[in-house]
Structure 1
């Protein structure tokens, strides 16, 4: 669904650049990509990403074509005391620049698959669809998320809960090497052998340690899936949700699933089959045989009539059809809670609060975790979580304050099980909120947060890389 963008007409003007024209001219000569300041042709396009409600407003943008461009940009920022933000696709933007320097990595789009070694090496601007396209002809798959249009690097630095999550764990668990430009403009290749402490911190807590210019990770031997959606509507939703929770506790690790609750508005822009309907979409991805998949989903089909049943065997290249995430940029705000468990009464309460009677539209997604996600390495927080509850609302004229009030009411229903948050599902201006420091601390347990904060202070003492959730407002160096 195409959603209206309010931010373009209401955003304040970027801060006046804090550097001389001669310095900018010198930067232009050093980099292969474009260098833009407010008022230049292409400035607005370059700063814009998938998230349109919250946009970066930098004093200067470097459209990096390679790692050397990134080095030049970071060196320029350090010389002139500018904070640095990085953007590839802008899906997860949660802390926008106001002044400073933005490094746009969308031109760094190289992908190389080594089929024999079962690895992929990607540059900073690559999206998951590119990796899937390169890997699937070899019978291999990456640990991509539900949307092929999401950037690989930022997703993986935050952990990465994807289509194969319960079978193979977080995307971060498969990383083999990271090419990093540090705050002092050095290029490092970081591995578990070269710097185990920094390498581990980057895997789940890595948004504030530097600019990742490339990443190498393992691929997994998956060529096909049994999957798709079972969709329930109307009075059948409560029964479907209760059945889903019972069923999720019985399935093998080879099955990854989620359920989405969407109360569609009755508007002509939507297909007739969706207008004004409240639907529960159960999404399935199973790496076993189609015959076993049919047996495993039988308890869900037994709930009752379905609006649609699209489960099928598919090549992994079609895994993006399971969730059908929107591909058009739009404005939205969202938050999440990682949960130790959940009962049907609480989930029904969430459904009621966010359903047709809600004051604003809210998309709910509950991911079943566990399995291989509970193991692994690195700094991914709250690996013991059993579920992730995600709430997202379009900002199509709705006051963000009203959206956050609705989300708070829904999260209150699951408070007894709440462990913390996932950094990858913080959508909107979390870095500007009064509770920004609390948001930052909720991503890891207290001991891990303190450890990562010490590393952050050592590797980025001036907090140059602060534009990530709560990074600009938390007094303690943050890693969220």
Structure 2
């Protein structure tokens, strides 16, 4: 049976007992072990077409993995298509766009665009895969100045559930492009896309680190500052502990720190004026705020890009006031005990509130803040759902009913009812046999 498939594709074809399989399907989270019946390591878009048609002919569901950052559950059956070989990036300086393969990471795009004075509206972590991130919408370090990352997608090449290669875009299937900008799952296999880049002549950013004793003042003061924050400045406040971040590992006596992360797409003088009130919130343990090369997003935010176990749950917030600060601090502030390595409030709004002219399926467009809980200790994973539910329920007065799929983590994304109905119709049309429907 696999001989037929192997003859149709350029990339490798593997059965469940193939010794190469574990390395082929390994993702960012080493605790998730995929055990599909068949794996196709796609080397071309035609490989994806052949794999999808073969799966349909043999009654197999289809799953897809690029870098594996968004994987929350193992694939235990069916056909898994890996796309990490499709990592080509081509930048058009005149048009200000990048054509990006399904396996490319943000670091690949940043490195290709920066020498030309261009930058993608990327994820905070450059090791994240481009396509999976964009399919969920994407709230990165330029959220307030440039909106959702998916707002900059101009077109996608997609293999549908019928094995057809189509272009989603103004010159092709415009409704499918609407869905791919934030609809996340069940919309076919994206083999490449074209992304509009931003012209950012200067970049200022980094983080401020505060000791545990100052966390309450920093949380309250930062939230007050966000209500009049410059619209170009994107910030988030992450409370970290358990030695999970480089910033806390550099202070071995600290059990818990607050990291206030800042991105400003502009010059140093304007950046210094914007962040002056943040520096005045409390004494700092570290201050990395400075002009930065466009290639240094990871260094700017102190992110660890090493693969490892991750548990995520988040929500979207309409507003964040003093009462929310007290509810948040009661669960995650000084003296609070919980199993998470990092808990984050992010200030968005600004450009994220403005949809693209033709519309998009992004969930959470009306959010002004987000809340995120991240765990890295597998020994605590079983305890995390109940604790997360308790913390997030305490935020109910401020929560939106929508949940962006990139923030939902182990839960499912939640779209507004009209968007959900429209997405369901697109999924039925492009995947009439349900090949990409979630299993289990």
- TM-based fold match above 0.5: yes
- Structure 1 residue 461: Cα displacement: 2.3
Partners of 2:142 and 2:9 in 1: CA distance: 39
Decide which of 341, 359, 368 is 1:386's aligned counterpart.
368
2:197 equivalent in structure 1:
219
Distance 1:171 1:272, change over 3 A: closer
| Mapped pair 1:472 → 2:439 | yes
Decide which of 370, 378, 388 is 1:396's aligned counterpart.
378
**Deviation sequence 1:159-181 (CA, Å, 0-9, x none):** 11112111111111111110000
Distance 1:380 1:258, change over 3 A: same
Aligned partner of residue 113 in structure 1, secondary structure: strand
Decide which of 335, 339, 343 is 1:364's aligned counterpart.
343
**Higher alpha-carbon deviation: 313-322 or 121-130:** 313-322
1:117 equivalent in structure 2:
95
| Mapped pair 1:417 → 2:384 | no
Partners of 1:193 and 1:286 in 2: CA distance: 35
Distance 1:114 1:265, change over 3 A: closer
- Structure 1 residue 55: Cα displacement: 3.2
The 5 Å alignment of 1:23-102 reads: 23-102=1-80
**Could you tell me the TM-score, scaled by structure 1's length?**
0.87
User: Unaligned stretches of 5+ in structure 2?
Assistant: none
| Mapped pair 1:245 → 2:227 | no
Runs of 4+ in 1 over 6 A off after TM superposition: none
Distance 1:319 1:381, change over 3 A: same
Partners of 2:385 and 2:253 in 1: CA distance: 25
2:431 equivalent in structure 1:
460
8 Å contact from structure 2 (residues 340, 373) kept in 1: no
8 Å contact from structure 1 (residues 94, 426) kept in 2: no
Partners of 1:83 and 1:197 in 2: CA distance: 24
| Mapped pair 1:316 → 2:265 | no
- Structure 1 residue 340: Cα displacement: 0.1
- Structure 1 residue 207: Cα displacement: 2.4
User: Unaligned stretches of 5+ in structure 1?
Assistant: 1-22, 431-438, 474-480
Partners of 1:275 and 1:406 in 2: CA distance: 26
8 Å contact from structure 2 (residues 182, 363) kept in 1: yes
The 5 Å alignment of 1:179-328 reads: 179-265=157-243, 271=249, 273-328=251-306
1:169 equivalent in structure 2:
147
8 Å contact from structure 2 (residues 166, 173) kept in 1: no
**Deviation sequence 1:228-287 (CA, Å, 0-9, x none):** 0011112211000011111111122211111111123599xx735145421110111111
Decide which of 397, 412, 417 is 1:446's aligned counterpart.
417
8 Å contact from structure 1 (residues 265, 275) kept in 2: no
Distance 1:427 1:274, change over 3 A: farther
1:10 equivalent in structure 2:
none
Distance 1:304 1:83, change over 3 A: same
Aligned partner of residue 315 in structure 1, secondary structure: coil
Aligned partner of residue 207 in structure 1, secondary structure: coil
8 Å contact from structure 1 (residues 92, 426) kept in 2: no
- Structure 1 residue 324: Cα displacement: 2.4
**Deviation sequence 1:19-44 (CA, Å, 0-9, x none):** xxxx2011111111111112212111
2:131 equivalent in structure 1:
153
8 Å contact from structure 2 (residues 312, 408) kept in 1: yes
Aligned partner of residue 401 in structure 1, secondary structure: helix
Kindly report the root-mean-square deviation, in angstroms, between the aligned alpha carbons of the 2 structures.
Answer: 1.8
